[in-house]
Structure 1
Amino acid sequence: MFVFSKQFWRFVMVGFTNTFNYYVLYLFFNHLLNMPYLGAHILAFLISMVGSFFLNSYFTYKTKPTLKKFLQFPLTYVVNFVVTTSGVFILVDILKLDENISPLLASVIAIPFTFIVSKMILLKEG
């Protein structure tokens, strides 16, 4: 089972780092630049995704990042983006949870999906 692999736990460590970076960016855009929470979420998500690509390439999967993989990597985050964005919307607008905590909760739900899809892209040969 993949949750017991070293690779999965490296992915989780990268995920914590990436989530921290995302969250700092989210708070910066939302509070300091007064962006609406969904705009702040989307911009922080896109910026942190670039960092995630390199951290996962070098540290998690120990593979050389290529332009082809870099261009494919955002496609793997479609599931992550849908899960987190839907989660943030549901948590804030429907369940009325705090918009500062909701992105973290939504990100946790997306972890297994992102691991599987990013592994498929980053370890694919050619």
Structure 2
Amino acid sequence: MINKLKFLEGKVKEYIKFNIIGISNFTISQVFYITLFKIFKLNYIIAYTITSILSILASYFLNSKFTFKSDNYSTKKFSLSVLVYIFEYILNMGIIIFLVNILGINEIISPLIAPVFSTLPVFFLMRTIIKNK
């Protein structure tokens, strides 16, 4: 029972770290997205795509190093991580398009809502990839 509690405690700590990195990365990404969308007048889909690519790179390295305590970077792990983030991108983009085009929610607010639905599955997928030897 104590081992299960320690295991669960470790997962909770990782999830908290994952979210701290995620929120930091997300905040920086949103500033960048708004800059591309509002100042440079890029289409919201193009602005979100550019922002997502930069965010994927940052997330892989930050989560590997700080969340999951792994210095074992590899092309395979990076490639699998990119696939996870492509899944997240598609999921988030679908939600954003739905929010903007169907529900009429603002193009700036919609990307703030979308990650609510993708954080938990992405955490477990990334943990599996990075922790797997």
What is the TM-score normalised by the length of structure 1? 0.91
Matches within 5 A, 1:58-73: 58-64=65-71, 65-73=73-81
Amino acid at match of 2:93: T
Are 2:107 and 1:91 equivalent residues in the alignment? no
Amino acid at match of 1:69: K
In the alignment, structure 2 segments of 5+ residues that lack a partner are: 1-7
Amino acid at match of 1:45: S
Are 2:63 and 1:56 equivalent residues in the alignment? yes
**C-alpha distance in 1, partners of 2:52/2:86?**
11
Are 2:23 and 1:16 equivalent residues in the alignment? yes
Query: Which one of 71, 74, 85 corresponds to residue 77 of structure 1?
Result: 85
**Percent sequence identity over aligned pairs:** 28
Q: Which residue of 1 aligns with 2:34?
A: 27
**C-alpha distance in 2, partners of 1:76/1:99?**
24
Structure 1 vs Structure 2 CA RMSD: 1.7
Structure 1 runs of 4+ off > 6 angstroms? Answer: none
Structure 1 window deviating more from structure 2 (34-43 vs 72-81): it is 72-81
- Between Structure 1 and Structure 2, how many residues are aligned? 125
Change (3 A) 1:71 1:79: closer
Q: Which residue of 2 aligns with 1:102?
A: 110
What is the TM-score normalised by the length of structure 2? 0.87
In the alignment, structure 1 segments of 5+ residues that lack a partner are: none
SS in 2 for 1:92: helix
Deviation at 1:31, TM superposition (A): 1.1
